[in-house]
Structure 1
Amino acid sequence: MKVLMFGWEFPPHISGGLGTACYGLVKGLVHHKQDIIFVVPKLWGDEEPLADFVNASDVVIDYRERKFKKIWKNLTYLEVSSFLVPYLGPEEFKKYTDYTLHDRTDVDESVFSNKFEFSGKYGKDLIKEVSRYALVAAQIAKSKDHDLIHAHDWLAYPAGIAAKEISGKPFIAHIHATQFDRAGEGGGQGPVYEIEKAGLLAADHILAVSHLTKKVVIEKYGVDPNKVSVLHNAVLDASIIQSSVRKNVPEKIVTFLGRITFQKGPEYFVEAAKKVIDRDPNVRFVMAGSGDLLNRMVERVAELGMGTKFHFTGFLKGKDVDDMYAISDVYVMPSVSEPFGIAPLEAVRHNTPVIISKQSGVAEVLRNAIKIDFWDVDAMADAIFGLLHYHSISKMFKELGSEELKKLKWEHVAAKLVTVYEKLHQEQP
């Protein structure tokens, strides 16, 4: 099967779980002999050559072609003044400064070019780049032979729709996070929601990363349940990592590693930390990451008098992430709404017991973990205290977790996806 796949990032240039998931899925599909054409706005040249990569910045288009004009007329164009990444919380999404739907018959042609230079990042012109990416997608769909179209998350949905307009091939929308995950119940409005909804309704099939996400897609976007499949994420390597890194402090270390935003529940981690430290001051807490709630968390830690026991590392990547997992005695993911959450699986790979919220997709596949409601800071504190002080409990979760990882490989996920591909391909008229 030849699959035309649209993403927004690919390792090693990523901002979070989206790029990591794309990498794992592509690697799994290649293992199953699938032919993948992977399109990104900007290639950096150091991507692992797993697929036929297409750099959207290199594609020349003739936007005056009739079909391209029709596509452009249906695209949403808006100005954005804030720094954006795919999974932001409510504060960032309030920073939209202008949302204007233009008639494409008289739009200023300064937004057009025969060749677009994409930043490949998430800056102030993100939505404009999303629209331009869709035009490039149409050109690629016209010139590249393919059987199916597969687009990852809202950033690539307009591209998927445009490609389908040109080639008529089945379009699969892969949803890794919804606007309701990013902005809570207020997510059902605004441009990103509209882009998401248009993509999900236009898709011939939808892949959700959890049953939790499938439920949101059906209830909040009015999607037919019969066209939604659940495809859980996995790990790139199921083997346990034996790290030589050693911590330089005598205390136990409890870690939060992720974006410091509403969705990830960092405030609950801080409140639970206070309860644990009150019971045992010989524990250090680490919050690794960046986000719109960082300053508020620093202030709250100061208010609670935990400054000497609570550390903020900033955004970590690569080896620094692995080292953080390795020196941690407990990993906590207290997400308010987590479509999946790959980080706990990576923590298990480093032989670190995990505590995860029941409001996460990973809770559906990671059975050997302590699961709590994100808001229950007492239960979170008790779980942390128990794992730190009862060696037999911690040892049990480490052993069971390592066995469970063997079932969570991208090759297994890709095998399920191939059956979806084949079914859609056979149903073509």
Structure 2
Amino acid sequence: MKVLMFGWEFPPHISGGLGTACYGLLKGMSHFDHEVIFVVPKLYGDEDPLADFVNASDVEIDYREQRFKQIWKNLTYLEVSSFLIPYLGPEEYARFTDKALHDRTDVDESIFANKFSFTGKYTKDLIMEVSRYALVAGQIAKNKEHDIIHAHDWLSFPAGIAAKKISGKPLVVHVHATEFDRSGEHVNQRVYDIERSGMEMADKIIAVSHLTKKTIISRYGIPEEKITVIHNAVLDTSIITSTATKKVPEKIVTFLGRITFQKGPEYFIEAANKVLKKDDNVRFVMAGSGDLMNRMIDRVAELRIATKFHFTGFLRGGDVDQMFAISDVYVMPSVSEPFGISPLEAVRYNTPVIISKQSGVAEVLTNALKIDFWDIDAMADAIFALLHYGGISTMFRQCGSEELKKMKWEHVAEKIFALYDKTLTVTHS
């Protein structure tokens, strides 16, 4: 089987959650005897060779063909002035974008250039790049032999649609997050329309959780039978024994993620305040950045718990690992989390976790304390219990570690190949 797969990013460059998931999936797929052609807007040459990579920036388009003109006619060329990844904080924004690109004046450049030069970043010209990526995808679908098309998240959905129109092969779209997860009720209508179009044109939809499946059905009007839930996994299921040591005598409770509405940081702070009223031998850490950072700092000051509460800013790499290693409890109080990989990373460091019931990972991680994100009393009680009752903490550590070993990307890949087979059988019948 030959799979034509469209993504937007891939490690080690611009490696956010979507890139990490694509990397894990390709690594899992490499265990099977199938060929995967993986397309991204821009390659750098140092990617792990897990697939037949195609750099969209290198593809020449024969735009004289009527069918390519038809694809372009169905797309919208649009320069947008706002940043379309609203859940990134200011520090992440700086990491993911090149501000010089925001001063571009070449928007009148012919849309029918032989090649398009993609940034592959999240710039103000993102919709324009998404549209051009779709045009290039049609050419790739014509050039590359394939049996099925797989597109990851809204950035690649127009590319998947264009490829399907050119080759006639079935399309599978993979929903890692929806616009409602990213923006709450204040959705970007343009992004929502792209998402819905991709889901409607798809032959099958993969949702990363039952939570995401419910959103697709209720918010996008997609039939339930079209959607298959396949949970994510972790790149490494081994348990880590860290040599990192705490530099404070107190126990540490950690929130690690974007400080945005979606992640529920305010509930973590209110729960921390309740815990500290019963036990002041605890330090709370909020690691990350986001648009609610200043408001959270103000609230901590207002509650007069600043001496027991720390804001680290955005962490990456080894600093993230060390934070997990020195934490006694990890809390993910997300308001809406399609999946949520960070609790699984915490489990790798033998750190017991508390997760919101409104997260996809709650569906697969049995050995974790689960609370409603808004129930700060239950969250505070759970934190207090894990800090003070050694038997409970030890049980969740041991059972969580055993559970983690089953969450491998090759198992995810096996389920996806089975879905491909089923989709091909239906379309050929």
TM-score where L is the length of structure 1: 0.92
Give the Cα separation in 2 of the matches to 1:202 and 1:158: 10
Does 377-386 or 275-284 show the bigger shift?
275-284
Once the 2 structures are TM-superposed, how far is the Cα of residue 376 of structure 1 from its aligned partner?
0.6
Give the Cα separation in 1 of the matches to 2:221 and 2:19: 27
Partner of 1:258 in structure 2? 257
Give the Cα separation in 2 of the matches to 1:111 and 1:324: 47
1:377 and 2:376 are equivalent in the alignment: yes
Once the 2 structures are TM-superposed, how far is the Cα of residue 307 of structure 1 from its aligned partner?
2.2
Partner of 1:423 in structure 2? 422
Per-residue CA deviations over 1:344-391 (Å, capped at 9, x if unaligned) read: 111111111000000011111101000000001111111111111111
1:5-404 mapped onto 2 (5 Å cutoff): 5-85=5-85, 87=87, 110-187=110-187, 190-404=189-403
Percent identity, please: 74
Give the Cα separation in 2 of the matches to 1:404 and 1:175: 25
Give the Cα separation in 2 of the matches to 1:272 and 1:79: 43
**Partner SS, residue 154 of structure 2:** helix
Letter in 2 for 1:131: S
**Partner SS, residue 358 of structure 2:** coil
Q: Is the 8 A contact 2:87 2:290 kept in 1?
A: no
**Partner SS, residue 428 of structure 1:** helix
Letter in 2 for 1:329: D
Q: Residues 33, 318 of structure 1: CA spacing in aligned structure 2 closer, same or farther, 3 A cutoff?
A: farther
Give the Cα separation in 2 of the matches to 1:141 and 1:351: 45
Q: Is the 8 A contact 2:14 2:121 kept in 1?
A: no
Once the 2 structures are TM-superposed, how far is the Cα of residue 109 of structure 1 from its aligned partner?
5.4
Give the Cα separation in 2 of the matches to 1:34 and 1:322: 34
Q: Is the 8 A contact 2:8 2:120 kept in 1?
A: yes
**Partner SS, residue 207 of structure 1:** strand
Q: Is the 8 A contact 2:339 2:360 kept in 1?
A: yes
Give the Cα separation in 2 of the matches to 1:247 and 1:82: 42
**Partner SS, residue 53 of structure 1:** strand
TM-score where L is the length of structure 2: 0.92
Per-residue CA deviations over 1:213-268 (Å, capped at 9, x if unaligned) read: 11111121111211110000111121101112112111111111111111111111
Per-residue CA deviations over 1:49-76 (Å, capped at 9, x if unaligned) read: 1111111122222334211111111113
Once the 2 structures are TM-superposed, how far is the Cα of residue 87 of structure 1 from its aligned partner?
5.0
Give the Cα separation in 2 of the matches to 1:330 and 1:200: 38
Instruction: Show structure 2 runs of 5+ residues with no match.
Output: 90-106
Q: Is the 8 A contact 1:266 1:334 kept in 2?
A: yes
Give the Cα separation in 1 of the matches to 2:84 and 2:405: 35
Per-residue CA deviations over 1:265-296 (Å, capped at 9, x if unaligned) read: 11111111121222222211111222222222
Letter in 2 for 1:7: G
Give the Cα separation in 1 of the matches to 2:112 and 2:350: 51
Q: Is the 8 A contact 1:5 1:150 kept in 2?
A: yes
Q: Residues 87, 150 of structure 1: CA spacing in aligned structure 2 closer, same or farther, 3 A cutoff?
A: farther
Give the Cα separation in 1 of the matches to 2:112 and 2:307: 54
**Partner SS, residue 79 of structure 1:** coil
Per-residue CA deviations over 1:94-138 (Å, capped at 9, x if unaligned) read: xxxxxxxxxxxxx96534422222112111111111111111111
Root-mean-square deviation (CA, aligned residues, Å) is 1.7
Q: Residues 197, 184 of structure 1: CA spacing in aligned structure 2 closer, same or farther, 3 A cutoff?
A: same
Once the 2 structures are TM-superposed, how far is the Cα of residue 193 of structure 1 from its aligned partner?
0.5
**Partner SS, residue 234 of structure 1:** coil
**Partner SS, residue 246 of structure 1:** coil
Give the Cα separation in 1 of the matches to 2:6 and 2:137: 8
Instruction: Show structure 1 runs of 5+ residues with no match.
Output: 90-106
Once the 2 structures are TM-superposed, how far is the Cα of residue 33 of structure 1 from its aligned partner?
2.0
Q: Residues 86, 68 of structure 1: CA spacing in aligned structure 2 closer, same or farther, 3 A cutoff?
A: farther
Give the Cα separation in 2 of the matches to 1:284 and 1:16: 28
